[in-house]
Each structure stands twice: as C-alpha cells, then as structure tokens.
Structure 1
Amino acid sequence: MRGRRFFRTIQVKLVIIYLLLILVAMQLIGVYFISTVKTSLTDSFTNNLKEQADILSKLAARHLSIKPGGDLDTNAESAEGLSLVVRNLFSISGTEVQVLDANGKIVATSVQVPESYVGKKNPSLAVSRALVGIPENEEEIIDENNVRKKIIALPVTDNDNDNVLGAVYMVASMDSLYDTVNRVNQIFFSGTLIALGLTGVLGILLAHTITSPIQGLTRQAAAVAEGKFDFKVPVLGDDEIGRLSMAFNDMTIRLKEALSVNEEENEKLNSILSNMSDGVIAADEHGKVIVWNRRSLEMLDRKSCENCSLTELLALPQQRLDELRQGKEQTLILDRGEEAEMDEAEGIMRVTFTPIHRRDKGTTGTIVVLQDVTEQEKLEQSRRQFVANVSHELRTPLTTIKSYAEALNDGALAERELSERFVGVISNETERMIRLVTDLLHLSRLDSNQAPMRRRQTNIHDMLDEVADRFSFQLRQKSIRAFIQVDSELKEAWLDRDQIDQVLDNLFSNAIKYTLDGGKIQLSARKQEQALIAISVKDTGIGIPKRDLQKIFDRFYRVDKARSRNMGGTGLGLSIAREIVKAHGGTISLNSELNVGTTVTFTLPMLEEDGERS
C-alpha cells in the first residue's frame, strides 16, 4: 500500500516523465545516429572494395589481353606476375581476391595455396553477371562460420574495344565494420544510462522544487481542516505555485474570519436559545429532533432529546403531526396536568409549529416553539373566578335588599317592628356591599402600586397592644385570652403603620372568628436573621384542612363558605394582607392543623429612616 502511494506522488511522476522523455529522445537519436553511422561505414567499405577491384581490373586487363595462341613462356610469365601482384597486395587486408578469365576460370588468387583454386571455375552468380559485362555486382553473405562477408565482382574489359576479358571477384569480411557499429552502440547505450542517471538526479531536485511547496500547501490544508489557522504557507516565488500559496494564505485568513463570525453567531444563538423562556426544538424532514434548548428539556421533563422524534416527545399521532408540519394548523395546546395529576390549569403548553421551506425541495424541517401558558391559564381562570365571585357576592345582598324593599313597599311599613327588622337587614347588606367594594378598591390600588407607602417609626410592642385593645370586646364575648410576646431586643421599626394595622386586624379578626369560646390567641414578634421582623398570630381555633392551605390566600376563597358569609367575611382579607406584606418587601405564610389551631406569620424588613435595611 505504501509502495502504491509512493508511486502516486507527483515527485515520482515528474521524475518518471523526465526519464521517459530522455529515454525516448535518446532512443530516437540513437536509432538515427547508429543507422547513419552504419550506412556510412558500409558505403565506405563498399567503395573501398570497388576502388580496389577497379584497380585490379585494370591491372588484370593487361595480363588477360595476351592471345591464347601466343608464346607459352610469355603467357606463363604473365599469369605468374598477376598472381604475385594479387598475393602481395591483398594478403595483408585479409580479402580474398580472384582474377578470372573470360570462361570464368580462376587465373590468379590471393589465397596461400593457389594450386587448389587456379584453373577451377567460379560458379558464383556475381561472376556470371560480371562476365556478361554487368558492372554492378555485389551482395552480402553469411558463411558457414557465421561470418558476414561482402562480395563484389567487376568485369575486366579491353581498353580498345570494351570486350570482356574476364572478371575480378573479391570477398571481404565485414566483422570489423560491425565491430565498429557495436562499439558505437555500446558507447551510445552507456551514454544513455549516464544521461538517465543524471536526468533522474536533476529530475528529483527539480521535482522537489515543485512538490515541496505543494507539500507545504497540503500540510497547511490539513492543519486548516483541523481548525489551525495560525500558520502560513511560505511564498517561494512569483510563479503559479507562489500565487497559489498567496491565494491559499488569503483564503485561510478569510476562512478564519468567517469561522470566527460563524462561531460568534452560534454562541449568540446558543446563548439566546439557552436563556429563552420558551422551549425551542428543531426537527428534520423526517421528524427527527436535531436541535433543542435547555428550556424545552425542562418543559418536557427530559434529560435529552437525542434520537427522539416529535411524535415521541409531544405524544401526538403521526397524522396529526403531519398536518401541523404541513402548515394546516400552527398552534396546539397540550395539557400536561392530565398525565402529571396536577391541579387544573397547571402544566399547559402552547406548541407552535413553523415549517422550514427550501426552494425546489419543499419542507425540509420544522421549528417547534413550546410556551408554558400555565400561569396565563391560571390568571384567566382567576379572572373568570373573580368575576363570578364578585357577581355572586354582590348578587346575594342585592337580592336580599330587593326582596326586603319589595316587602316594605307591599305594606310591611305599616308594622313598625317588622319594618324596623327589614330596614336593619337592608342596612347590614348595604354595609356588607360597602366592605366588599372597599376591599376590592384596596386590592386594585395594591395591584396597580397606587397605594402610597407612608413609613414611620413604630414601636412594635405598642402596635400589638393596640390591636388586642381594639378587639377586647369580641375577646370578652367569647372568653378568649390574648397574649402578647415581643423580643426584648426588638424595639422599633420603620413601616406603614396603617397598612400593617389592617393586616393585623384581618389576622386577629379571623383568629377570633374561628376560635371557640375559652380559647387562646397569641401575638408575637421576634427578630430574625438578615434584618427581618417576624410577626405571628397564633390561635387555638378549628384549624384549616390541608387541602385548602394552598388556596387560602386566593381572592374570595373560603374554607367554609356558608359560615364565612354568615360571619360577614368577604374572602378578601388574607389576599389584602398578602399584598400589603408583599408591598413592604416581606412574605406571609400560614400553618394550620385541623381542630388544633392556626398560625399566620409574616416577615418585614427592618429599615432605617432613609429606607435602607438596618
């Protein structure tokens, strides 16, 4: 695998290309050069033989021109002289030479033992052609010893009348010529190997100058892919690779800036999603959840939404979910209170679906926004209940007043005792409506922060004594004993005396109403940590059932509605007390046990004269 990868590198490819180019060029040059040298040597060798044959033919013409019928001694001397010339001239070169007469018989030869050849006829085709006067007779043969030889045959003619007197036959070995060609081949092959070696070394060096910047670019690209943008590719020149390096560095800078902006936007988006009061869920086109925020997990009571679907999270059937995702409906109300067994109007979510559309692809996802509307539903329910309670509270005395007024109008005025009783009932019901309207106006001012705070320095012990004094008559009527207990270190505090008196009057009045004859009521005040005053009203009354404790401070809420209404209560006293304490920056709580008693405690911050905590 590493070998394959090595041969796939640009550096190796460039070196191979260089070597192949040199190899092809050298081969073409070698073929042309060696072919030319061979042709030149062959032509030179042949021309040399022809020149020698031509000289010999002229010498032989003089000896062969002697008539056969002439003097025998003269003919013998002529033949012996020709043989001597042939042996002396051509024995050194190693060329076999034969001089033939007009009949094709050997007259003279260059071999060492001429007796075996002289007088014999040469049957060669070249000789036959030369004897008929054809001047160009040459051929190449390979003898039984595998030696390549050149054969040339020239006619010997008479200078006077151009008659063919005989022929010159020459056979020369071409080993020296081909040895020269082989040496040229070896020299060229060696030169080719040296050229390839030098080309390889130079190719590696040149390829390195090209691949080194590319390797730097590759390393930098890998670093950029890993998120490292601090390094730059060195620019080694103004060529294409140099401009590529500059462009890559510029791209790296811009990519770093783009990623920084993208990360910043993602951080902003994550921060927004994390701190949203609404839950946000994003799903793909298949309904799989891909993004969610922390609030959505809290609202859905889950640890994670990974690998979840919208049908699973929202407990909706697929058909219903498809309708919402397609935009047929956008809003859905989910009541979690049914599953969690919460109180009515608790755990209610408004789910808004927004499909994500992409051009040419249709719906590619869905954004789901979860809004907790539990408090809104509670508030709406409280409004409805408030209107119903006010209507009920006003309708009852109005009905009573109307009925007694009609009775008086029908003749009851004539009876003094009866008319006085009717007028007393009308007066009581009117006072009851006045108290109700007064309490409602007071609550309205507290809700709208229109009730001014008039703080003044107040002695806590004196304030509690005055409360007990105001209800001394009711205490004596029911034989209820009142006790006051104030910490010795708690002397005075800055508070709105009138409003706190109203709170104490409401709490003390309730304690008297629901405490049986002979019971006890204890008013106490103590100093707590964090500069707080805790004031408690504790009775030994009938107590409040546990199921009513959570709603006891709600407006118009009564534990025993019939008895409370008979006692003249409006159901707003504890609500007013809570709002007054809250306006002072304190808290109020109630603990009660049925048939044992009730303790109401409210805390107030201890303030200095300038309104700061002490």
Structure 2
Amino acid sequence: MTKFRAKLTFIMIVMIGCSMLIAGIFMAKVLEDSHVKSLEDNMERELRVIVATGDWSRIGSENELMAYFSQQAKRIKGVTNERLTYVRTDGKVIGDSDQEPGQMDNHLSRPEIAAAAASGVGYSTRYSDTLKEKMLYAAIPVKNEAKATIGFLRISMSLEQVDKSIRSLWYFLIVGLLILFLIAGLVSYRIAKGITHPIEKMTKVAQQITNMNYESRVPAYSNDEVGQLGLAINRMSESLQQQMARIRENERRLQGVMENMLSGIMMIDRDERIMLLNPSAENILGFSSQELLGKRYNEAKQQFEFTKLIQECIETRESIRDEMIFYYPAERILDIHLSPIAHEDEEWSGVLIVIHDITAVRRLERMRSEFVANVSHELKTPIAAVKGFAETLLAGALNDKDTAVSFLQIIFDESERLNRLIGDILELSKIESKRIPMNFSPIYLPEFLERSLHVLRKEAEKKHIELSMQVDEDMYIEADEDRLRQIIINLLSNGIAYTQDGGKVKVRVEPLDPNSDGDYERLRLIVSDTGMGIPKKDLPRIFERFYRVDKARSRISGGTGLGLSIVKHLVELHKGTIRVDSEVGIGTRFTIELPVIH
C-alpha cells in the first residue's frame, strides 16, 4: 500500500492548497465587506453631524423650501464631496445637491429611506439611473424638538474608488489562484493520470465483459495494487470466456437436440405457464410457440383431457404416462409422459411433458395384425379346399374317373392360386423393404405398351373387351422395364377383370407441363376402364394389402388382393405418384405421374 499511500498524499496536498486558496478568496470577500461597512459607519456619522449642525425644520412654501434645502445640500457637498438629499416624510424630495428636486421621483419606497424609517438608519447599494454609476446610500430620519420625524436626510457616494480597490485585490487573487491552480492542476494531472488511466481501461474492459466481449484484456501495468487488480480482471475475463464457450456449445447441442427431436417437448414453470416448446410439439399440438409461450396451460386452447392430465401432474407432483387421441390439427394417437421438475434447493419448479406421436406405430400394428389375419385366411382357403378334395378322393372318389379328374383340377387350381399368393407376398415383402434392384434404361413407350397389351389381348377377347392405347410416336421414359410392365399389366388385368363383357380398357400417355420447345420433365400415364367402378367409401383403402371391394368377384377372378399394393410401391420406387378416380357403374381411372429421366 506504500505507493498508493504516496499518491494519496499528493492528492491531499493539492486538496489542502485548494482549501487555502478558497480561504484567501473568503478573506478577500470579508475585506470587501469590512471596507463597505466602514464607509457606511462614516456616512452615518456625517449625516448625524449634518443633522445636528443644520436647520432642517424651516417653514415656507414648497418652492422656497426646495431652493433653501438645495442650496444647503450643495454647500455641504462642496465640503464633503458627497451627494446630499433631503426627503420629506411623504417621500417628496425638497432638496438635492445634484438634481432639481421637482424633477425627482418620490423616494419613500427607496430601500435606505424605508430602512431609516423603520430602524433609524438605512443603507443601500445600487446603480443610480440619474448619475449612471454604482452608489452607496445612507439615510437617517430628521426629527423636530418633539422627536417627531419631519423628513429624511440621505447621503450618497460613488463606489468607483471602492470598486477599483476591490478589483485590484480580485485581480491579484485571481492571478495568484490561476498560477496556483495551474501548478496544482499539473501535479494533479500527473497523479490522476497514474491512477485513473489504468482504472479507465479496466472500466472499459469490464463494460466489454458486461456486453459479452470476453476477449477484451487489461494492458499490463505496474506491480502495485492497480496492476494486481488488472491481472485479476484478465483472469476473470479468461475464465468467463471459457465458461461461456462451454455454455454456448451446450446450448447449441441442446438446441440442436430440441429442434431435431421427433418427440414433442413442452415445459411448464412453477407459475403454470408454458415456457418451452420445440418444433415437434408445435406440429403435434397444431399451435406455434408464439401462440403458446407465456400463457397458462389451461388458457392455451388445448384438448380438455390433455389439460386435465397436466393439472393432475401439478396437483399430485408425480410422473404420469398416458395414451391419448388428439383430433386437432389431425387425428393422432399420442403417448404423453409428464414428469414434475424439482431442483435441490426447490421442492417443485414445473412440469416436463414429452409427447410421442405413435399414430404410425399403432397403424403398423393394426396393419400387421390385419395382414397376419388376411394371410392366414387367404392361405387357409386354398389349403382347406385341397385338403377337402384330397380326403374325398382318398375316401373312394378315385373310382369315379370323371369326379376324380374334376377334383384333381380343383386341387391344381387351388395350388396354383396358393402359389400365386405366396409369390405375391414374397414380391411385396421385397418391394416394401426396398431390397429389389432397379435397372433404369430408356424405354420407347409405343412399342412397350403394344407388347404389354399383346400379353392380355387373349384374356380381353374372351370377354369381348376392347383394348386400346393412345401415345405419341416420339415418347420415351427412363424406367425399370420389367417393373413398369408389372405396373401396366396389373392395372390392365384389374380393368379386364372388373369390366363387363363388351366394355373398354384404355391406356393413354400424355406429357406434363411441356415448355415452349415441347420438352417436358414428367409424363402422365392413365389406365381407364368402363367397369363397375369403386364406391367412394372404398377409394381411400384401395391400395391396402388384401383389400377387396367385391370379395366374391375377386375370389372368382382368382385375385390375391395384393396387386394394387404392389403397383403403388413400384410407382414410388420410380419416384412417381398414383391416384384413383372412380364412379360406380361408369368406370375407374388410375393416373400415374412419373419423371421422364432419373
């Protein structure tokens, strides 16, 4: 502390010097006031001598009195060189050494006259508009033999000489003060600079640290206490920089996790307000964070059962897990897990809610269950038929040749149907798992469609169904030829199977959004028929596995119920889309849109 104490001593010396200067200024002011007081005392004595030696109770007309008292005032001024004024008790000036009394204002309100009337003597210092200079006034009352006031005698003198003396004194003091302050200022500056400059730098660094600029450092100074303080600030800044870097990294990681989580996260604080909502929760609940953050959970327009679940967790302070169906913004099955949040120093601080959308899981479970049931049913039917007819043959039907041949034909047909079913199941399994290779190559569509129609033409001729195609001569597409043929044949086979005798099945290909040069990036392939049509209630499920609109007719036609499901997956493997439009009794149209080039 020695160096700091030395600096502090210098500052104290400067402060003492300033105090002495202030004392000198005060003494100068006291000297000025003392000088003025001495003048006032002298003026009072002169007034009393003048009152005692003069006749101030003369009687006569006003003009005579003005002439007499003015002459007396001038005579006295010639001796004292001071202005003398005689004022009547009503304030009327009836004698003055310098001015005509008749031209002068009433003096009853003059400060010195008022003070003299009140206390026996009055003083005033002011600027005289008559003489155009600063004057010192003194007044006393003039009394008659009955001690009654008959007027006021006022004397005044110019303060020019006094002001000159005071100004000289002030000039001397000011010059001395300036010299002293200059010296003190230089000394103070040197001392202050040594102390304040490092502190200013430290203050700036502290402000930058407050503004989260943790790279700012204090320059190295001496090894005194100020230097040690700067070193401590630098260490603190370095530590804060490292800690903030770790905090930011953790925040980025947490933010990345929160934003990319498939599960919804919601946090409610101790005031029952929603304080956190990640993007998945926004999508699941159908509200943005701007709409929910800061609101109480029971004011957030949420499903009543969900709100009750939160209330139950807040009241019981226990973890709750439940499965719930939400109907907004879409029908979803949600797995909701609510956990109370508690810190070491607090009993309870809020609720953390984790929301899992398990709609797809439940749908898959249902589809898996339905698939197993459908497969079991589809496999059981032909197996039961084969077993039944085989038992009949073994029971003696072999002896009847015609019956035996009929039964064996049925067994063969059912085994073929069973073989097709197993083949389609295996094919669909490979397609769904995307384990089949796709061999893309250019395909000339007119020739490709002609060969596809040729495969089914005999089947169509049996029902007198007209097969036709409409495609431009210069149309090509890049696709897997075998899979594309599988798509076309499946759709054409369905059209033939569900179209009455004499109907029509047609394939049409058209470009999508061609530019001015006639080039296009996608094309539309339409397979339409004039069959029985599909009811509207069945359209959403038409591409599901084993789903049949007319189960009896499907079974007669030998279909497995997997064709359209296979078509849908093959179209998606070609990066395309498929949709169906149908009217009962009029016909059905499947529309496929595919990219021209992969």
Secondary structure of the corresponding residue to residue 488 of structure 1? coil
Residue matched to 2:571: 581
What amino acid is aligned across from residue 549 of structure 1 in structure 2? L
TM-score (norm 2): 0.60
2:489 corresponds to 1:502 = no
Residue matched to 1:367: 352
In 2, the alpha carbon distance for the partners of 1:399 and 1:340 equals 47
In 1, the alpha carbon distance for the partners of 2:233 and 2:392 equals 102
Instruction: Note the alpha carbon deviations across 1:347-401, whole angstroms, 9 max, x for none.
Output: 1222234554433534544433222222222211111110011111122223333
Match of 1:595 among 585, 590, 593: 585
What amino acid is aligned across from residue 307 of structure 1 in structure 2? G
CA change 1:309–1:565 in 2 (3 A) is farther
In 2, the alpha carbon distance for the partners of 1:556 and 1:363 equals 54
2:520 corresponds to 1:518 = no
Contact kept in structure 1, 2:314 and 2:351, CA below 8 Å = no
Residue matched to 1:387: 372
In 2, the alpha carbon distance for the partners of 1:398 and 1:582 equals 34
Secondary structure of the corresponding residue to residue 238 of structure 1? coil
Matches within 5 A, 1:182-581: 210=195, 214=199, 217-218=202-203, 220-229=205-214, 232-233=217-218, 237-285=222-270, 287-304=272-289, 305-309=292-296, 314-318=306-310, 320-322=312-314, 326-327=318-319, 329=320, 331-337=321-327, 342=331, 347-455=332-440, 458-491=443-476, 493-528=477-512, 531-581=521-571
Q: Any unmatched runs of 5+ in structure 1?
A: 1-10, 24-193, 608-612
Contact kept in structure 1, 2:263 and 2:281, CA below 8 Å = yes
CA change 1:284–1:543 in 2 (3 A) is same
CA change 1:606–1:262 in 2 (3 A) is same
TM-score (norm 1): 0.59
* Pairwise CA distance, 1:268: 3.2
CA change 1:399–1:309 in 2 (3 A) is farther
In 2, the alpha carbon distance for the partners of 1:394 and 1:308 equals 57
Farther off after superposition, 212-221 or 241-250: 212-221
What amino acid is aligned across from residue 545 of structure 2 in structure 1? R
Secondary structure of the corresponding residue to residue 543 of structure 1? coil
Instruction: Note the alpha carbon deviations across 1:562-586, whole angstroms, 9 max, x for none.
Output: 3222222111001112222333443
* Pairwise CA distance, 1:458: 4.1
- Name the larger-Rg structure: 1
* Pairwise CA distance, 1:320: 3.5
* Pairwise CA distance, 1:340: 5.8
Contact kept in structure 2, 1:523 and 1:535, CA below 8 Å = yes
CA change 1:561–1:546 in 2 (3 A) is same
Contact kept in structure 2, 1:487 and 1:527, CA below 8 Å = no
* Pairwise CA distance, 1:489: 1.7
Contact kept in structure 1, 2:313 and 2:338, CA below 8 Å = no
* Pairwise CA distance, 1:475: 2.2
Contact kept in structure 1, 2:542 and 2:548, CA below 8 Å = yes
Contact kept in structure 2, 1:15 and 1:207, CA below 8 Å = no
In 2, the alpha carbon distance for the partners of 1:16 and 1:391 equals 108
What amino acid is aligned across from residue 247 of structure 2 in structure 1? N
* Pairwise CA distance, 1:437: 0.8
In 2, the alpha carbon distance for the partners of 1:245 and 1:590 equals 78
* Pairwise CA distance, 1:225: 2.4
CA change 1:324–1:597 in 2 (3 A) is farther
Contact kept in structure 2, 1:325 and 1:353, CA below 8 Å = no
In 1, the alpha carbon distance for the partners of 2:394 and 2:524 equals 54
Contact kept in structure 2, 1:15 and 1:204, CA below 8 Å = no
Secondary structure of the corresponding residue to residue 365 of structure 2? helix
In 2, the alpha carbon distance for the partners of 1:453 and 1:224 equals 61
In 1, the alpha carbon distance for the partners of 2:333 and 2:14 equals 76
In 2, the alpha carbon distance for the partners of 1:541 and 1:418 equals 36
CA change 1:376–1:323 in 2 (3 A) is farther
In 1, the alpha carbon distance for the partners of 2:233 and 2:345 equals 34
CA change 1:459–1:221 in 2 (3 A) is closer
Contact kept in structure 2, 1:480 and 1:518, CA below 8 Å = yes
Q: Identity across aligned pairs (percent)?
A: 33
Farther off after superposition, 288-297 or 311-320: 311-320
* Pairwise CA distance, 1:588: 2.7
In 2, the alpha carbon distance for the partners of 1:16 and 1:379 equals 91
Residue matched to 2:125: none
In 1, the alpha carbon distance for the partners of 2:245 and 2:309 equals 42
C-alpha root-mean-square deviation of aligned residues, in Å? 3.9
Instruction: Note the alpha carbon deviations across 1:43-65, whole angstroms, 9 max, x for none.
Output: xxxxxxxxxxxxxxxxxxxxxxx
In 1, the alpha carbon distance for the partners of 2:503 and 2:411 equals 33
CA change 1:325–1:553 in 2 (3 A) is farther
Secondary structure of the corresponding residue to residue 415 of structure 2? helix
Matches within 5 A, 1:109-128: none
Secondary structure of the corresponding residue to residue 471 of structure 1? helix
What amino acid is aligned across from residue 589 of structure 1 in structure 2? R
What amino acid is aligned across from residue 364 of structure 2 in structure 1? L
* Pairwise CA distance, 1:293: 1.4
What amino acid is aligned across from residue 309 of structure 2 in structure 1? P
In 1, the alpha carbon distance for the partners of 2:572 and 2:403 equals 47
Contact kept in structure 2, 1:520 and 1:540, CA below 8 Å = yes
Secondary structure of the corresponding residue to residue 322 of structure 2? strand
Instruction: Note the alpha carbon deviations across 1:232-285, whole angstroms, 9 max, x for none.
Output: 556654321232123223323432443344234323322332232222223334
Residue matched to 1:110: none
In 2, the alpha carbon distance for the partners of 1:395 and 1:323 equals 55
Residue matched to 1:54: none
